[in-house]
Structure 1
């Protein structure tokens, strides 16, 4: 079996999560509060997001959020790759 490059897998996870975060920002910016509530309620299997949807997020808060999301996802991806690599039998 092949080993996974920890840094590259972490980067791929981080970038994917950041893109999903940006997609969420686009939904909130374009659909408005009611449209966003409808979208996320259907996405989350009917979980009522009415009390947690906020469309008046300052840009600096959104930028910090996207950076934090990237970092958390990078660490998650790196850990997954590292754990995977430790399970591979050495030849």
Structure 2
């Protein structure tokens, strides 16, 4: 038990049971089960720091000027409807073969 507390303290209380188990097995050579380490840590109230803040998606600036269209795409609905059936037709022909 003291070895688990020592490993946990040396990790600045960031190691959970999997890392403490690995440290016991590889670092000190103590053979003990992973589930036993977790159970002992739970029974003695030893917990790791696990509250990491999740970052959200990128927020765009509503006042930013959009960059130039270097690909020269067109947003014409007529052109899009004309090109799509031909591309899908070729795709389905390839699947039939």
Q: TM-score, normalised by structure 1?
A: 0.30
Specify which structure has the bigger relative contact order, considering alpha-carbon pairs within 8 angstroms and separated by 6 or more residues. 1
- Higher-Rg structure is 2
Q: Relative to total residues, which structure has the larger helix share, 1 or 2?
A: 1
